[in-house]
Amino acid sequence: MFIDVTGGGHVESERKDEELLDKEIEAMCLSKAEEFRLLGYEYVTAQDIWECASRNYAKEGTPPLHRIVNDIYSLKVTTYMNYLTISMYKGLK
């Protein structure tokens, strides 16, 4: 749902690692969405947080895990609102 992780090694082990990483990233996004809701932005979801935080990953490729964590936890409400506004003008949302 949130991230695509690929690499060498055993396929089943990779799938478990990817699922675990996906759950951890989802938990971070849920936490950030809850923070935004506490600030009065009631309709923010974890998926919204992920879409905003990862918007440049398609162009740049999947970054190291520490950058993903930083992108999620350092996301500011103003950055998120700017992302929504631009998305609306582009017709993405």
Quickly list DSSP for 15-51.
Answer: HHHHHHHHHHHHHHHHHHHHHHHHTT-TT--HHHHHH
pLDDT at 41: 94
* pLDDT for residue 92: 62
* Residue of 29, 59, 48 whose CA lies nearest to 92: 48
- What local confidence, expressed as pLDDT, does residue 11 receive? 64
**In the chain, what are the domain boundaries?**
11-90
Say what the pTM is: 0.79
- What is the pLDDT, as a whole number, of residue 24? 94
Predicted confidence pLDDT, tens digits, the chain (93 residues)? 566 544 555 567 778 778 888 999 999 999 999 999 999 999 999 999 999 999 989 888 889 999 999 999 999 999 999 999 999 998 865
